[in-house]
Amino acid sequence: MELMQQIERPAEHGVVSGLCAGIARRYRLDPTVVRVIFVVLALSNGVGLVLYALGWLLSPGPNGVPVERYVPQLKDLSRQTWIAIAVISCLIVSGILSQWVPFGLVPALVILGVWYFGIRRPQKARERAQHTARVAEINPLAGPPTPFTEAARAWQQRIAEYQQGGPVRSAAAAADPAATPRAADEYATAPGYSMQAYLSQPDPAGIYDPPAAGPPPRKRRRSGRLWLIALIGIGLAIATLVLLPIPVAWYAYPAAALAVLGVVLVVAYRFGRPPLMVATAAVLAIVAVFGATAPPPGPPPAPTVLTYSTLAELPDRTQASMGEYDIDLRELQVTEDRTYRVELDTGKAVIRVPADANVRVTWQTDLAGVDVLGKTSDQVSGPGSTQRILDPSKPTLTLDIRVGFGSVEVQ
């Protein structure tokens, strides 16, 4: 791809392959910022892993371009094909790693959108403007006159006169300065003037070679459209699986993508198969069959159970990065006002409170379901609070719950 050819991986200043350093040099960014972005993308359902692998494969380095060294059969693939490979790979890896990474696809989409609209697109506009300015400053006809420059000047003059509707000279008339120019609508009947014949020839001076014959553009357009239809269908199929009210196995995602590609390949039989679509379908079939026939994983880990019966045992805070926690406070004797904080980055927190105690609950979530004291909150992100005061004269137990992604339940 043209974009990756502009990103050269340096031999020095690289941590893994030098890709982040090359991107930072290309877009004038801090390499540390680029590395942090790739880490966040990697935690976003593994999208960063796919993008990093493809970036390394397509970008030139000290030993050349890896795709030309290791898989030369793929070096001539079109940009649309590589984009399709990247999207399908991200969807497959996302379906596989969604249970083990803390973030979803939203951070990846936000980062890619900011990069394209905030960095890539403005830079392309600047480069286009600079290129236009450089071209405008170049005079290809400068220097001593030659037959080529004379023919070019005559052609420019003839085009300008024709566009303005003014007098037009033929080649023979241009050679005679004393000849009187005629109006553009008189050249067809005047001797020495043959404007229409001159303009009808694509190469009147005979200085250009005919362009090399290439593949028919219609076929390329059809292949691109079929890939676009396939990507849209795969996106809709995966969105449908995500929105189902029942749990779906991870291998259902590549199976759904395989079904969509199969339909597109049947439709494409009449127009010609798009490049690499059969190979992509074969990879999806292998992944889906492997997932369906592989032995099921072991039982999920049991939740961590914490039980406290006195305020002396109750810590001020319980903090964890991931997991399922069952905190039993039903036997807790609340003899004074007390605040207990639970912080969980990703997972599920179930807190069982005393039935006869005053309880006040505040929570802050990034993306989590909330069910507190029998009331389900419609808000899945942001702050919230509720309370159960049975006797205002008695002490109150305050629960401060912070969960990033998962669910919160207070019983």
The domain spans of the chain are 2-135, 149-199, 218-293, 304-410
pLDDT for position 183? 46
Bridge partners of residue 372, in order along the sequence:
375, 410
In this prediction, residue 135 has a pLDDT band, given cuts at 50, 70 and 90, of low
Alpha helix (H) residue ranges in 44-194: 47-58, 66-70, 79-97, 106-115, 121-137, 147-164, 171-175
Query: Is residue 213 predicted with pLDDT exceeding 70?
Result: no
Secondary structure string (H, E, C) spanning 12-52: CCCCCCCHHHHHHHHHCCCHHHHHHHHHHHHHECCHHHHHH
Mean pLDDT of 381-395: 88
Q: Which residue has the higher pLDDT, 283 or 316?
A: 316
Q: Burial level of 92, CB count in 10 A (0-12/13-18/19+)? A: buried
pLDDT above 70 for 380: no
Q: Which of 5, 11, 21 is nearest to 82 (CA)?
A: 5
Residue 110 has pLDDT above 50, yes or no: yes
pLDDT of 241: 79
> Which one has a higher pLDDT value, 47 or 313?
313
Q: Which of 102-116, 173-187, 224-238, 386-400 has the lowest mean pLDDT?
A: 173-187
Side chain identity at 17, as an amino acid letter? S
State residue 340's pLDDT score: 93
**So what's the pLDDT on residue 358?**
93
- CA-to-CA distance for 253 and 57, rounded, in angstroms? 25
pTM score: 0.39
Query: Token pair for residue 277?
Result: 């679509």
Handedness of CA 152, 155, 157, 163 (dihedral sign): negative
pLDDT of 56 > 80? The answer is yes
| Closest listed residue to residue 255, CA positions, set 91, 83, 42, 97 | 91
Q: Is the pLDDT of residue 365 over 80?
A: yes
The stretch 145-168 carries a mean pLDDT of: 72
Q: What is the pLDDT of residue 175?
A: 47
| Lookup: tokens for 213 | 């014959």
pLDDT at 247 over 50: yes
Q: What is the rounded distance in angstroms from the CA atom of residue 286 to the CA atom of residue 198?
A: 62
Which of 56-60, 229-233, 338-342, 374-378 reaches the highest mean pLDDT? 338-342
Flag the least confident range among 89-98, 156-165, 178-187, 333-342. Answer: 178-187
Residue pLDDT, tens place only, 193-206: 555 555 555 555 55
Of the given ranges (103-107, 164-168, 239-243), which has the lowest mean pLDDT? Answer: 164-168
307 band by pLDDT with thresholds 50, 70 and 90: very high
